[in-house]
Chain A
């Protein structure tokens, strides 16, 4: 089955610097890669996602890149702010089958705790 590895497990940056979190996956059939942000004591929320027919996607200060050949994808946060401090999770899902193309099994990485120092 799919295995998702996420690095680093903790990341500390100065406000205004960039932060990069990397994930690798094992199943070459995976083709949907979301990123979730979880603030302390709250539920995970989607911040950006990418599908395998796209190499890069941006949303303001956040971008995700995907390298299908190497089976890795990365989250880039520019001009970090203290409110970016949270745990970030990557995930991978394979789209096959009858239910609108979804297999159903979403595998998460173990998370990266990002701290942005003022």
Chain B
């Protein structure tokens, strides 16, 4: 089944404790992206990757890191999480940003 998976789905953590949210797709898509969703602010792009070893900042990259060592995986890293990073995070993949994006199920992160 073609899909985008994210783990964990829910996470409660404390300020400053490094965490990684994994994202994997099995559709051989070159393009992958991370978004955060906050009430009233819609979906805001954090980082995107157009191919292996190619990553670029989106609109809200501060406090986040990503890597794209393999085509299927695009982990989101929070080196020192803060409460303002409490949000719902979505990973997505597609052929490129000019085609349908397939979203993962989302990760709800709470930083205390």
Asked if A and B are interacting partners, one says yes
How many A-B residue contacts, CB cutoff 8 Å?
73
User: CB distance A106 to B100 under 8 Å?
Assistant: no
How many residues from B make CB contacts under 8 Å with A?
Answer: 27
Please indicate the chain B residues that have their CB under 8 angstroms from the CB of A9 in the complex. 40
Q: Which size bracket describes the interface of A in this complex?
A: 20 to 34
User: CB distance B97 to A102 under 8 Å?
Assistant: yes
User: CB distance B100 to A46 under 8 Å?
Assistant: yes
Interface presence of A45 (CB below 8 A): yes
User: CB distance A102 to B96 under 8 Å?
Assistant: yes
The distance in angstroms between the C-alpha atoms of A25 and B44, with both chains bound, is 15
User: CB distance A105 to B98 under 8 Å?
Assistant: no
User: CB distance A99 to B42 under 8 Å?
Assistant: no
Interface presence of B67 (CB below 8 A): no
Q: Which A residues fall within an 8 A CB radius of B?
A: 1, 6, 9, 32, 34, 43-46, 49, 51, 89, 91, 93, 95, 99-111
Given contacts A95-B98, A103-B97, A111-B42, 17 further A-B contacts (CB under 8 A): A9-B40, A32-B98, A43-B104, A49-B100, A89-B42, A99-B51, A100-B96, A101-B98, A102-B31, A104-B31, A105-B97, A106-B33, A106-B45, A106-B101, A108-B35, A108-B42, A111-B43
